[in-house]
């Protein structure tokens, strides 16, 4: 009996269940796909909790750039 196989995964951004029928699979939406791309573009894939708001992601990126040590500096925390 022909039964259409539909894979499903959870959106890596907001954990919404997404089926492979979704055009944005494995993301639930174009927005989450954009957020994921932004994470890779920033060079740090460090988000461990779900983030639903792109503005929050921007805040995190801003915070990271502020914490970056000075180029000539004392990188004592580097391990």
Binding site for Zn ion (CB under 5 A): 11, 13-14, 16, 28, 32
- What is the rounded distance in angstroms from the CA atom of residue 54 to the CA atom of residue 56? 5
Closer to Zn ion by CB, 10 or 69: give it. Answer: 10
2, 22 contact by CB (below 8 A)? no
- What is the rounded distance in angstroms from the CA atom of residue 30 to the CA atom of residue 38? 12
Closer to Zn ion by CB, 13 or 57: give it. Answer: 13
CB of 35 to Zn ion, least distance (A): 8
CB of 39 to Zn ion, least distance (A): 13
């Amino acid at each position: 009996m022909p039964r259409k196989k539909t894979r499903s995964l959870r959106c890596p951004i907001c954990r919404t269940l997404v089926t492979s029928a979704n055009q944005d699979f494995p993301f639930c939406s174009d927005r989450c796909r954009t957020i994921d791309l932004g994470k890779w573009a920033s060079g740090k894939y460090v988000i461990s909790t779900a983030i639903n708001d792109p503005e929050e992601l921007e805040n995190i990126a801003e915070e990271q750039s502020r914490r970056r040590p000075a180029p000539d500096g004392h990188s004592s925390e580097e391990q």
